[in-house]
């Protein structure tokens, strides 16, 4: 099949409107519990993280927002961080709460049996809402490390009740136009049970809370073999997919570059998304990267990630849906499958290069960034001080 050299107008329009939020933590040093390798030029503060994230957007034109983690990205003056970001052409995005690094949360946070610990965790989330407003954002993401390691360690049922009550207090702090998004994860750091392990649990809590509560799906938070595109279809059908955390996984929550291990899975997911028009801004789904770059250059890793999503979205949009519906109606199983595969195997890279040039962007954002000298410049400038790591 010959490569596609020009995008059809409707696909070009959709791609121009589609944006991907990047995480501040991707620009800091990260690693595993074995070792965190430092990289020259790694940001020393949230301002420098924003400057690096702005590079990803300058090269791709598709990542205009940066998610912040509170308190990792706490600054004295959030308004100053916001205007710094805006001067560099990006906006501050979702605020991510953090109840997983303090000793008080050893046995849970919003689910803890001790009301004093729950109070502290709820207050942290209310503080996050204040930061969110100062940042000019309207979304708070809640991912909880809560769970137990041993059967019998605590009451699963009581923890669900505590969770529901705690979330209700946080939800009551929302103003019009704001929302919380609740992320699920089936294991880690808890290994026996997690308090929000799956989309069903997250959805049940969101339904009980109200329309300003939505589910977050993170690719890496499922058991091997889970049909993630089914979950996407189901949550969209319910109007409750609030955000999607892109990354790639081989084993568990690997947080590697999206599309690296299984580009076909990414294609299948994005095809479910385009079938329900959820890639359009009007759908309100916040598409984000949730990744860490342990070995590779962080900005380059982020640019590669944005390009992987953009290329795969173009392929999903290329599927001949009329022909597919026809094959499905005729129960022509293999023809239907072939229509999907044709789009998947189409090389869209030349068309995307032309699409970028038309917008005044580098045809090859990855190569352009490498040639820009930015990394060498910041490596020379950012000496001394503490380079920030995951959790700094």
Residue numbers of the site for Mn ion (CB under 5 A)? 218, 245, 253, 290
* HSE-up (13 A, CA, CB side) for residue 22: 36
Enter the tokens of residue 16: 């121009």
Do residues 94 and 242 touch, judged by C-beta distance below 8 A? no
154's contact among Mn ion, ligand PSV, none, with CB below 5 to 8 A by partner kind, is: none
| C-beta of 180 vs 339, nearer to ligand PSV | 180
Tokens of 220: 């890496």
Residues 216-235 that bind ligand PSV (CB under 6 A): 218
Residue nearer to ligand PSV on the CB measure, 107 or 390: 390
Question: Which does residue 96 bind out of Mn ion, ligand PSV, none, counting CB within 5 to 8 angstroms by kind?
Answer: ligand PSV
Residue 272 near ligand PSV by CB under 6 A = no
Q: Between 117 and 181, whose beta carbon lies closer to ligand PSV?
A: 181
351 touches 7 (CB < 8 A)? yes
Contact 270, 313 (CB under 8 A): yes
Of the pair 163, 352, the CB lying nearest ligand PSV is at 163
Which C-beta is closer to ligand PSV: that of 31 or that of 350?
Answer: 31
The closest of 103, 121, 100 to 111, measured between CA atoms, is: 121
Bridge partners (DSSP) listed for residue 179: 139
Q: How far is the CB of 96 from Mn ion (least distance, A)?
A: 8
Question: From CA 49, how far away is CA 63, in angstroms rounded?
Answer: 14
Contact call for residues 271 and 229 (beta carbons, < 8 A): yes
d(CA 35, CA 64): 31
Among residues 253, 326, 342, 364, which is the contact residue for ligand PSV, using CB under 6 A?
A: 253
Separation between Cα atoms, residue 174 and residue 74, nearest integer Å: 21
Contacted entry of Mn ion, ligand PSV, none for residue 19, CB cut-off 5 to 8 Å set by kind = none
| Smallest gap from residue 377 Cβ to ligand PSV (A) | 29
- Do the beta carbons of residue 308 and residue 264 sit within 8 Å? no
Residue closest to ligand PSV, measured at CB: 143
Q: How many residues touch ligand PSV (CB under 6 A)?
A: 8
SS3 content of the chain, % helix, strand, coil (to 5): 45, 10, 40
Q: From residue 157 to residue 196, what is the string marking binding to ligand PSV with x (rule CB under 6 A)?
A: --------------------------x-x-----------
Based on CB atoms, which residue is closest to ligand PSV, 24 or 166?
24
Is beta strand 147-148 parallel, antiparallel or unpaired with respect to 179-183?
unpaired
- Of 229 and 290, which CB lies nearer to Mn ion in the complex structure? 290
Q: How far is the CB of 23 from Mn ion (least distance, A)?
A: 8
Q: Which residues form the interface with ligand PSV (CB under 6 A)?
A: 96, 143, 183, 185, 218, 245, 253, 290
């Amino acid at each position: 099949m010959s490569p596609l050299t020009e995008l059809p107008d409707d696909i070009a329009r959709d791609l121009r409107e589609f944006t991907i939020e990047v995480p501040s933590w991707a620009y800091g040093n990260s690693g595993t519990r074995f070792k965190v390798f430092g990289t020259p030029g790694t940001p020393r503060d949230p301002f420098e993280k924003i400057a690096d994230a702005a590079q990803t957007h300058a090269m791709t034109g598709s990542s205009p927002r940066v998610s912040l983690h509170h308190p990792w990205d706490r600054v004295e003056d959030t308004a100053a961080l916001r205007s710094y970001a805006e001067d560099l052409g990006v906006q501050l995005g979702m605020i991510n709460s953090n109840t997983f690094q303090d000793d008080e949360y050893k046995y849970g946070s919003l689910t803890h049996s001790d009301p004093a610990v729950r109070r502290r965790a709820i207050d942290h989330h209310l503080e996050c809402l204040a930061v969110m407003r100062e940042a000019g954002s309207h979304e708070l993401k809640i991912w909880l490390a809560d769970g137990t390691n041993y059967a019998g360690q605590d009451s699963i049922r009581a923890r669900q009740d505590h969770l529901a009550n705690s979330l209700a207090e946080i939800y009551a702090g929302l103003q019009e136009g704001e929302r919380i998004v609740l992320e699920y994860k089936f294991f880690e750091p808890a290994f026996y049970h997690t308090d929000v392990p799956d989309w069903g649990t997250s959805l049940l809590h969101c339904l009980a809370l109200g329309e300003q509560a939505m589910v977050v799906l993170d690719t890496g938070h499922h058991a091997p073999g889970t049909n993630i595109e089914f979950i996407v279809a189901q949550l969209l059908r319910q109007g409750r997919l609030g955000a999607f955390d892109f990354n790639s996984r081989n084993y568990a929550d690997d947080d590697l570059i999206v599309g690296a291990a299984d580009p076909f899975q990414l294609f299948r997911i994005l095809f479910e998304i385009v079938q329900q028009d959820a890639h359009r801004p009007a759908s309100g789904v916040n598409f984000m990267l949730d990744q860490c770059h342990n070995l590779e250059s962080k900005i380059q890793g982020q640019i590669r990630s944005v390009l992987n999503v953009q290329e795969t979205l173009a392929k999903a949009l290329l599927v001949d849906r009329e022909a597919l519906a026809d094959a499905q109606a005729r129960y022509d199983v293999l023809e239907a499958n072939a229509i999907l595969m044709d789009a998947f195997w189409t090389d869209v890279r030349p068309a995307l290069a032309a699409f970028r040039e038309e917008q005044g962007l580098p045809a090859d954002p990855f190569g352009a960034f490498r040639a820009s000298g930015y990394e060498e410049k910041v490596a020379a400038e950012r000496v001394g001080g503490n380079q920030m790591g995951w959790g700094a």
